[in-house]
Structure 1
Amino acid sequence: AILTRVARSHVRVGTFQFFAARQNWQAVRELADYVIWRNYPELQNRPARYVELLQAVGERQARLVSSWLGVGFIHGVMNTDNMSIAGETIDYGPCAFMDEYDPATVFSSIDHIGRYRYENQLGIVQWNLARLAEAILPLLDEDYEKAVNQATEIVEAFYPQAEECWLDVMRGKLGFKESRPDDRELVESLLTLMHEAQADFTLTFRCLWKGILSAEIPTELTNLVGASAKVDKWFLSWRQRLLAEGVSPQEASERLRTTNPALIPRNHNVERVLSAAVKDSDFAPIHRLVEQLAKPYEASADSMPEAEPPRPGQRVTQTFCGT
């Protein structure tokens, strides 16, 4: 069999490291020029194009990983040879989607210290960006100190910028279009409630579309995060904040449904369809799941059995390279 992988680029941070480790700076320059030509053509012929390349790679990867966080995706092994210069999701080995919300969630069987846990993924992007900066340092400026200062400034500025990308993603999940000062508190308060209740990440955000249509907290939400004064306070603050943007409840509801999937490839479902294929040569479950996952935001997805979280006996806690 032949497996063909398609991406805008298969150049990774590690590709630059390969040549930099051998001090083959001509190859590093040629690789950087190729990447600019292929993936960042707007930087061609710019005087500071290599500095701007470092910034642009950081921006793309920040947007990419923020989108992972928005759907509870955990890559698994974010080493420099698995992070695309083009800012696409490739080489995701022991990856998985989170069921109940826990920022320390790890699935990879080889990640014993939680280096690539859910909450650490933006920090790992910053670490990888620092490695890329080291690999192209001679291209940034002929003066070594100036090059180091430029690289340091870009790497240090990354995390605050990346957190803003994440906050924009989370604003969308709460139905907000506008940016307001209290948004972070609303996001973090809900995540705290979810963590305390071990609420399902996907289903909690998904059920919000029902809550905006009524002043009453939907039963689906209290079933997930519990019924308490804290939940009541958060729900009222969120609903007022959303409607303050001047949208109708119906419009807000539709916006929430199109930013929060009902279906994700949950581990127990993936395990189930793989088992059917391997043990029984039955590929129908795989085809069905793939077809369903192609339309994760449709209303019909809410009632599908595949949308349900795993029961205790179905829980898959480890994934492996090759999954």
Structure 2
Amino acid sequence: MNGRRAILRAMPDPTSPLQDLPLDHGYAALGGSYHARVSPAPLPDARLLHFNPDAAALIGLDPAAADDPAFLAVMAGNAELPGGDYLASLYAGHQFGQWVPQLGDGRALLIGAVRNTRGETWELQLKGAGPTPFSRFADGRAVLRSSIREYLCGEAMHRLGIPTTRALCLVGSSEPVRRETVEHAAVVCRMAPSFLRFGHFEVFFYRNQHEQLRPLADYAIESFFPQFAGRPDRYRAWLTEVCERTARLMAQWQTAGFCHGVMNTDNMSILGLTLDYGPYGFMDGFDAGHICNHSDEGGRYAYDQQPRIGHWNVSRLVQATLPLLHENPDTAVEIGTAIIDGYGTAYGQEVVQRWRAKIGLREHHDGDEQLVNRLLTLMHQGRSDFTRSFRHLSRIRAGDEGPATGVREEIVAQEAFDAWVTDYRARLRAEQSDDAMRAAAMNAVNPKYVLRNHLAQACIERAEAGDFGELGRLMQLLARPFDEQPEFEAYAAEPPAEARHISVSCSS
């Protein structure tokens, strides 16, 4: 990939105007079999609704860009960034378990990638910038409602320590867009090291264009998995890493109470990032079978199915890349099966470690998993608030006797919970747990604040009425999810009764 290196310009200064950022077009260099060049569609009456200075710092962008009309023009799609190479990428995927032979970026345009002074690469992508050859008769626009949800959740997940795409800014418009009702258009500038998906490989496998797989895989390895570049077994090593990253991501989703909603293979990142925020949701009352997407009538992507679907999706990626693993098909299947089998081990190790941390256990003792599962069962039976229940567990003192006030009130089956607390205290004493140290450690992994659906919905309703102040407040709140933030105490409360069944779907 020496040609990719030659495309790179000089390193940026600590901060630079948008037009001076060095752009890397490594993905573009793969050629027209992988993408289509598209100009963005102008967005009338464009206005900058929010600018993310933390994301700007990742690419060395001067925060003064937020006040620059030229920046707004580029982010709205009303002008092309000098040196940009606007691409919509080709991919396919399994959607709700069914093969869809061609998808692709139907409303997203890659401008290019910026390499920062630390050597990190961040792709800039406009979502909602108009139709592409992959739009399938759609308008290529995104609406304000879904754009706000994506903008907020990418940052919320990042602050929770969960791998995710980021967002640089949000642009709004008065342009009407018809969905289930008439809404207003918006554009999000998304950022990620790469937006490559499982579906980028599936499309060439199912088209029997296997000769396209190797250049794409080599680009991915050399750009994002350089530790494997040049090795004879690089494809096996790379797929093993993708499998394990996906497993660890699923463990992080589960222990944060996060539901993605549309875990199609075209929404799965080869970097193990949370990608494409559609009908997602952080659970309020814990329900192991919670379905956050009302379009998912069969519950394929329910909360308790996410680890299994992650495994299934990995198996589809490995299947699509079998021609890279060995020239003998039977041997390729043996190698691929071993890769897929590693998913369960990686997931199990990660999820056990994370549940143990959530209840404040430093050491591994027999019976720890049963202790966690008993608590989850009690929470499920009473639909106890997921975030509040785990946050309040840090108040329990190992040497106390009697009911654990402050957390007991979150649980409906209180007598059963009292019995659990007795066993939990005994378990804490078995490792001589220090109450203060344990509480601090637990509060560092159990957030007080998450992006609950009713908070996002209130923000959307205000924004649709022309008030964007709540958007800024939520970004401020979600930047410190583990801190107390007394001024935002109301945001940690359970949703009011009328907001507990907000419905989200794939419509955006």
TM above 0.5, yes or no, is yes
- Contact 2:398 2:433 survives alignment (8 Å): no
- For the pair 1:167 / 2:325, whether they are aligned, the reply is no
2: distance between equivalents of 1:243 and 1:38? 48
Query: Which of the pair has more CA radius of gyration?
Result: 2
1: distance between equivalents of 2:464 and 2:219? 42
**Alpha-carbon spacing, 1:97–1:302, altered in 2? closer, same or farther (3 Å):** farther
- Contact 2:404 2:418 survives alignment (8 Å): no
2:335 to 150, 160, 166: 150
1:73 to 254, 258, 262: 258
Which fold has the larger relative contact order, with Cα–Cα distance below 8 Å and residues 6 or more apart in sequence? 1
The AA in structure 2 aligned to 1:165 is E
- For the pair 1:97 / 2:282, whether they are aligned, the reply is yes
1: distance between equivalents of 2:226 and 2:425? 43
2: distance between equivalents of 1:141 and 1:219? 60
| CA positional deviation for 1:157 | 3.5
The AA in structure 1 aligned to 2:339 is I
Name the counterpart of 1:258: 444
- Contact 1:213 1:250 survives alignment (8 Å): no
Q: Secondary structure at the match of 1:260?
A: coil
Q: Secondary structure at the match of 2:341?
A: helix
Superposition map of 1:225-236 within 5 A: 225-226=411-412, 228-236=414-422
Q: TM-score, normalised by structure 1?
A: 0.94
**Alpha-carbon spacing, 1:267–1:301, altered in 2? closer, same or farther (3 Å):** farther
Question: Which shifted more, 221-230 or 77-86?
Answer: 221-230
Name the counterpart of 2:317: 132
Greater share of strand: 2
| CA positional deviation for 1:227 | 5.7
Question: Which shifted more, 258-267 or 237-246?
Answer: 237-246
Q: Which runs of 5+ in 1 are unaligned?
A: none
- Cα deviation per residue 1:49-99 (whole Å; 9 max; x = unaligned)? 111212110111111121111111101101111000001111121111100
Q: Secondary structure at the match of 2:306?
A: helix
Q: Which runs of 5+ in 2 are unaligned?
A: 1-75, 78-187
- For the pair 1:194 / 2:379, whether they are aligned, the reply is yes
- Contact 2:398 2:425 survives alignment (8 Å): no
- For the pair 1:314 / 2:499, whether they are aligned, the reply is yes
- Cα deviation per residue 1:184-240 (whole Å; 9 max; x = unaligned)? 101100000101111000000000111137615432222111364421221122223
| CA positional deviation for 1:300 | 2.9
- Contact 1:193 1:225 survives alignment (8 Å): yes
- Contact 1:212 1:252 survives alignment (8 Å): no
- Contact 2:450 2:478 survives alignment (8 Å): yes
- For the pair 1:114 / 2:299, whether they are aligned, the reply is yes
2:220 to 35, 43, 56: 35
| CA positional deviation for 1:322 | 6.2
The AA in structure 2 aligned to 1:309 is E
| CA positional deviation for 1:181 | 2.3
- For the pair 1:12 / 2:12, whether they are aligned, the reply is no
The AA in structure 2 aligned to 1:91 is D
The AA in structure 1 aligned to 2:462 is A
- For the pair 1:240 / 2:418, whether they are aligned, the reply is no
Percent identity, please. Answer: 36
- Contact 2:404 2:421 survives alignment (8 Å): no
**Alpha-carbon spacing, 1:181–1:35, altered in 2? closer, same or farther (3 Å):** farther
Q: Secondary structure at the match of 2:191?
A: coil
